[in-house]
Structure 1
Amino acid sequence: MTVIANHVAENVFGTLGAICWSVQLLPQVWKSWRRKDTAGLSSAMLLIWFLGGIWLGAYCVLKDLAIPLIVQPQCFCALSAIAYAQTLVYDKRKSTTYAVSVTAIAFLFAGGLEAAWIFGARAAEARGSNGVTTAAGVLSAVLIAAGLLPQLYEVYKYKAVIGVSLVFLGVDAIGGVFSTLSLVFSAGEFDTLACCSYAIVVLFELLIFALYFLLNPSHLRRMEARRLSDEEALAGVTINSTSAMSEITKPEEGLKRGRSITVRGPEMGMGWMDEAVSAVEVPEVKRPTSAERRDESAERRRMNRLEKVELQ
């Protein structure tokens, strides 16, 4: 009776974990598509997760884990490839055709590598060696855990957690907890490698959650201060003309000082302005070089990305 109860718990938690880990990247894909920008989301993390999903899928098949745990890595691998394709379009400015082609090739590569690894491992097991199977489990655990390191670097670079869907992180962490519980209630031998793979992901994602609440408020204050500074910098010479009484006594001095001038009353005429403008020496405008224009364009794109922070 205990074995049956454990088997039921294993499948229930395994199913819940598989559902979460099969769809956890969908909120991220949706957010990137809606914003048309992936600034702050690490493409390296998605690529490493794609590779880790290949070996995790092979390992789950070789260890004959619960069916939901076998299905989950396949969905995880596919969504990682799709999310990576979005970074090619929105961040690296590649064409949609290029991104779709890369994704299709990645799917073929993943399927071929996983199948080859499974057949190779089973052939090795037939000769009494479990090294290939163990290697798949180690590679998947290392890659999935290491994949979050580039995302932590993105947090360090922007001094905030931006571009990453908090819904994605939450679903991913919950999926890791359910998958770990599925292993705990397994009637067979406890799988330490799979458990480490799930637990490390949960810990890293809890760290990113903590950094979000620690860093993002100050980041928003910096962005607001920068916006106000830009508005002040745009303030220039303004000339307001109305039909009220004249209030200017020496408009020429106002122009020379570069201050705001208010002209009230058509009776003032505009002859004095022609004389004042002609007396001001206009400096020669230096045309920026192509390198300077490229640097300015890159900086403008970087700052625009920072301004697209969205609180979840």
Structure 2
Amino acid sequence: MDIPVAENVLGTLGAVCWSVQLLPQIIINYKRHNTEGLQGSMMLLWAAAGVPLGVYNIVEEFNIALRIQPQILTTLSLVTWAQCLYYGKGFSIAKCISAVVPLLLVLGGIEAGLIFALKEAKSRGLEWPFILMAVLSAALLAAGVLRHYWDIYVHRTVRGISFFFVGIDAAGDLFSLVSVVFGPALDVLGMVIYGTELVLWLGIFICGGIFNFAPWLRERSRKTESPQEVDSVMLHPMPSSTSVFRTVSGNVVERRGRRFAGGSENTD
């Protein structure tokens, strides 16, 4: 079966975006040495979502890029979850590895078993297993993003998550969605999987504009304040999602945490 060039190109772009989507978040976590605001449960939900998504994409014979895409999602999600354990809960590196590696192996084993099971179901003409995999994929991906909606509702800011990461992830969803549209046959369930998460990420962007960018822009436009006061404006008592919107109070929280952990701090 010939797969259209457009499907391959768009699927590859989607896979590339999903390959690097969590890297900006991982780098930000490392640089600031905390995962405040980042939901560890979101990472676990995404890691789990990679299983039914991988099964669906492989058995439905999507292009190669979309078949490996879920495996990358699961792996990077577990790496980010390990950061949540290390920075957020104080786990040692050994404990993080002992938590992540067995879980990765279990998820991989479950996916392999389900692939064989769904291939058998496909040969018998059964449709409900595919519907189940698609629903599970969409539900787990959506649940992961929805954890941030609750955090936004509680704290009235988009905190702990990189907007660059959100943009890459949303682009990956968009490219993957269009790739499914250009496939040999229109796969409605595949469109639902990627379309659901895309809509939720767009909502995160809107919340970021309302709660993060708009207040920052208003403060920057105040002509009566000195430049030093403008740069030191407090938008929220917690560190926000990007270095552009980091606040003084957030830095104070981090400095206090480092004092507590190390006993002293070099203020130079």
TM-score by length of 2: 0.79
CA distance in 2, matches of 1:129, 1:204: 31
Of 188, 192, 198, the match for 1:192: 188
Match of 1:212 among 208, 214, 225: 208
Are 1:40 and 1:155, in contact at CA under 8 Å, matched by a contact in 2? no
8 Å Cα contact 2:14-2:176 kept in structure 1: yes
2:67 matches 1:95 = no
Measured after TM superposition, the shift of residue 34 of structure 1 is: 1.0
Q: Is the counterpart of residue 48 in structure 1 residue 35 in structure 2?
A: no
Of stretches 211-220 and 141-150 in structure 1, the one that deviates more from structure 2 is 211-220
Match of 2:253 in 1: none
Q: Paired residue for 2:83?
A: 86
- Evaluate the alpha carbon distance shift between residue 139 and residue 308 of structure 1 in structure 2; reply closer, same or farther with a 3 A threshold: closer
Instruction: Measure how far apart 1:193 and its partner are.
Output: 1.3
Alignment of 1:285-304 (within 5 A): none
Which of the numbers 177, 181, 193 marks the counterpart of 2:178?
181
Deviation at 1:158, TM superposition (A): 2.2
Task: Letter of the 1:186 partner, please give it.
Answer: G
Q: 1:309 and 1:26, CA in 2 relative to 1: closer, same or farther beyond 3 A?
A: closer
Superposition deviation, residue 145 in structure 1: 1.5
162, 166, 169: which one pairs with 2:163? 166
After superposition, the CA RMSD in angstroms is 2.4
What's the offset of the Cα at 1:45? 1.1
Mapped contact 1:23–1:76 kept (Cα < 8 A): no
Contact 2:160/2:239 (8 A) holds in 1: no
Q: Per-residue displacement from partner, 1:179-235 (whole Å, max 9, x unpaired)?
A: 111111112x211111111111111111111111211257767xx89x999xxxxxx
Q: CA deviation at 1:130?
A: 3.0
Q: Distance in 2 between matches of 1:126 and 1:200?
A: 29
Change (3 A) 1:28 1:307: closer
Matched residue type, 1:202: L
**Rg larger in 1 or in 2?**
1
Q: Is structure 2 residue 199 aligned with structure 1 residue 203?
A: yes
Answer yes or no: is the 8 Å Cα contact 1:40–1:158 preserved in 2: no
Deviation at 1:56, TM superposition (A): 0.2
Give 1:147 shift. Answer: 1.5
CA contact (8 A) 1:159 1:219 kept: no
Identical pairs, percent: 37
**1:25 aligned onto 2:22:** yes
Secondary structure at the aligned position of 2:111 is classed as helix
Structure 1: segments with no counterpart, 5+ residues: 230-302
Counterpart in the other structure of 2:259: none
**Which residue of 133, 138, 142 maps to 1:136?**
133
Residue-by-residue CA offset, 1:269-305 (whole Å, 9 max, x unaligned) = xxxxxxxxxxxxxxxxxxxxxxxxxxxxxxxxxx6xx
Alpha-carbon contact 2:177-2:191 (below 8 Å) kept: yes
SS in 2 for 1:147: helix
For residues 219 and 41 of structure 1, do their structure 2 counterparts lie closer, same or farther at Cα, with a shift above 3 Å needed? farther
Q: Secondary structure at the match of 1:164?
A: coil
Supply the distance in 1 between the matched residues of 2:25 and 2:187 (Cα, whole angstroms): 30
**Residue 151 of structure 1, aligned match among 148, 151, 160:** 148
Q: How many residues align?
A: 231
4+ aligned runs moved over 4 Å, structure 1:
217-221
**Which residue number in structure 2 is paired with residue 37 of structure 1?**
34
User: How far apart, CA to CA, are the structure 2 residues paired with 1:182 and 1:158?
Assistant: 37
Trace 1:49-88 onto structure 2 (pairs within 5 A).
49-88=46-85
Correspondence for 1:112 among 101, 109, 113 = 109
Q: 1:228 to 1:15 in 2, by over 3 A?
A: closer
Distance 1:130 1:59 in 2: 12
For residue 226 of structure 2, what is the aligned residue in structure 1?
Answer: none
